[in-house]
């Protein structure tokens, strides 16, 4: 085994726990798993989006052995597993609350029973979930955080963008952010809904909502958090953004400029918008080295904007610093290979991208591949 400094850690990897998969099978409306057989073999389809024809779904979505096989095949030492979207968004509060508690226990067990990496380190850890649905009580949400913080293999929570119905900039969530900040649980913010339309009438498969809509959704949610002052009120909150932060990095200076021109908003924020990007964590699921390097640039520059709304006067290049907030991920079991290949192209591309970032040192790259995750999740 490699030394701890060069572990490969996957922080963006999903599961539909058997209890959750059973729930999806029992449903007659989206999201659901449609059970079928073809030529005597299981031919189940997962349908999670409206107007979706579904995608093949099988053991790789729920079977822990499949997860471990995938890890072994790609040299992944340790995974921090999260339930895949859409979590419990579709359940009434009375059902979401016990289901979240059970799924958190299930995920703890899923990790606890897994092989060890070292005497003090497991191969699987997890993100729990909260019953974030309309009508849920704050008490129930705080109890779920309390539960997760006591489960020793759960190191954070995964969360969608709707909160309890009004989005994440809802003041009703302030006690939740406070509890997450206090317990140190990492919040993995992940899209599910994409955005409304403009996709046109052509058959482009899932390309537009997945390639564009998903990152747009994450970007809108994170921007609303910034604009609502959540990072001013909860500066120690640890938020990890799916898909390298969507497109918040590329729009952060435009955002700062738009805020500067809108007195309603400008007056209520403590810092230039670009400052807040330095408080965030980004997965490295962007498929290209230029994208990863750029994300680390905007993280590196954030400190210059703490008390400043103006661009540095001279060209600087300090992307290594920002790499410390970026973490390898695979998005497994989504984006499987179309042809039978030994390794998944989506995984290989993300690894090659990390390796090819101009301006990252070997140690920066080791950090993105695993060291940063071990630190963030307090595993070292």
Interactions with a copy of itself, residue window 272-311 (CB under 8 A): 274, 286-291, 293-294, 297-298, 301, 310-311
Q: Region of 11 please: left (phi>0), alpha (psi -120 to 50) or beta.
A: alpha
Which of 206, 233, 320, 321 forms a contact with a copy of itself (CB under 8 A)?
Answer: 206
DSSP per-residue string spanning 134-174: TT--HHHHHHHHHHHHHSTTEEEEEE-S-TTTT-TT-GGGH
Per-residue CA distances from 46 to 62, 230, 261, 301 (Å): 12, 35, 45, 42
- For residues 115 and 197, which CB has a smaller minimum distance to a copy of itself in the complex? 197
Between residue 104 and residue 163, which ones bind a copy of itself under the rule CB under 8 A? 161
| Contact flag: residue 341 with a copy of itself (CB under 8 A) | no
Sequence-ordered alpha helix ranges (H) in 151-288: 174-183, 207, 214-227, 230-233, 248-260, 263-266, 273-276
Q: Concatenated DSSP letters for 70-119?
A: HHHHHT--EEEEEEPTTTTTTS-HHHHHHHHHHHHHHHHHHHHTSPEEET
Nearest Cα residue to 319 out of 373, 365, 372, 375: 365
202 binds a copy of itself (CB under 8 A): yes
User: Judged by CB, which is closer to a copy of itself: 154, or 240?
Assistant: 240
Q: Can you tell me whether residue 260 is helix, strand or coil? A: helix
Q: Which one of 112, 151, 195, 321 is in contact with a copy of itself (CB under 8 A)?
A: 195
Looking at the Cβ atoms of 145 and 299, the one nearer to a copy of itself is 299
The answer to whether 352 contacts a copy of itself (rule: CB under 8 A) is: yes
- The answer to the question of residue 192 lying near a copy of itself (CB under 8 A) is no
Choices 71-79, 110-118, 189-197, 367-375 (CB under 8 A): range interacting with a copy of itself: 189-197
Window 212-251: residues binding a copy of itself (CB under 8 A): 212, 215-217, 219-220, 223-224, 227-228, 243-244, 247, 249-251
Is residue 208 within the footprint of a copy of itself (CB under 8 A)?
yes
| Near a copy of itself by CB under 8 A: residue from 18, 54, 167, 184 | 167
Residue 338 as a binder of a copy of itself (CB under 8 A): the answer is yes
Q: Is 209 helix (H, G, I), strand (E, B) or coil?
A: helix
- Residue 321 touches a copy of itself, criterion: CB under 8 A: no
| Residue (110 or 360) nearer to a copy of itself, CB | 360
Q: Which of 117, 121, 178, 210 binds a copy of itself (CB under 8 A)?
A: 210
* CA dihedral angle for residue 258, residue 261, residue 266, residue 267, rounded to 10 degrees: -170
């Amino acid at each position: 085994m490699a030394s701890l400094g060069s572990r490969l850690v996957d922080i963006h990897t999903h599961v539909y726990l058997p209890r959750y998969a059973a729930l999806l099978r029992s449903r007659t409306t989206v999201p659901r798993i449609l059970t079928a057989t073809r030529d005597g073999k299981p031919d189940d389809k997962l349908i999670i989006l409206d107007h979706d024809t579904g995608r093949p779904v099988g053991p790789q979505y729920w079977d822990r052995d499949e997860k471990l096989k995938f890890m072994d095949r790609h040299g992944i030492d340790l995974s921090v597993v999260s339930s895949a979207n859409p979590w419990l968004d579709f359940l009434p509060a009375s059902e979401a609350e016990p289901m979240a508690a059970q799924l958190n226990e299930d995920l703890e067990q899923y990790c606890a029973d897994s092989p060890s990496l070292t005497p003090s380190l497991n191969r699987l850890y997890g993100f729990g979930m909260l019953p974030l649905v309309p009508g849920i009580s704050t008490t129930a949400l705080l109890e779920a955080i309390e539960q997760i913080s006591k489960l020793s293999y759960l190191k954070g929570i995964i969360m969608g963008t709707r909160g309890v119905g009004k989005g994440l900039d809802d003041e009703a969530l302030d006690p939740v952010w406070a509890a997450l900040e206090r317990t140190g649980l990492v919040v993995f913010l992940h899209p599910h809904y994409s955005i409304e339309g403009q996709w046109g009438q052509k058959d482009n498969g899932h390309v537009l909502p997945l390639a564009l809509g998903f990152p747009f959704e994450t970007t809108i949610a994170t921007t609303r958090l910034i604009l609502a002052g959540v990072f001013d009120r909860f500066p120690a909150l640890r938020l990890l953004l799916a898909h390298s932060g969507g497109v918040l990095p590329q729009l952060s200076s435009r955002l700062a400029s738009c805020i500067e021109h809108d007195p309603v908003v400008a007056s209520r924020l403590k810092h230039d918008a670009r400052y807040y990007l330095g408080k965030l964590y980004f997965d490295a699921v962007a498929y290209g080295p230029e994208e990863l390097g750029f994300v680390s640039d905007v993280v590196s520059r954030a400190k210059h904007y703490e008390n400043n709304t103006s661009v540095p006067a001279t060209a600087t290049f300090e992307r290594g610093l920002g790499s410390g907030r970026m973490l390898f991920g695979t998005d497994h079991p989504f984006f499987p290979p179309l042809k039978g290949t030994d390794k998944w192209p989506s995984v290989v591309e993300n690894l090659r991208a990390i390796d090819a970032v101009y301006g990252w040192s070997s140690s920066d790259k080791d950090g993105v591949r695993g060291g940063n995750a071990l630190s963030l999740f307090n595993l070292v």
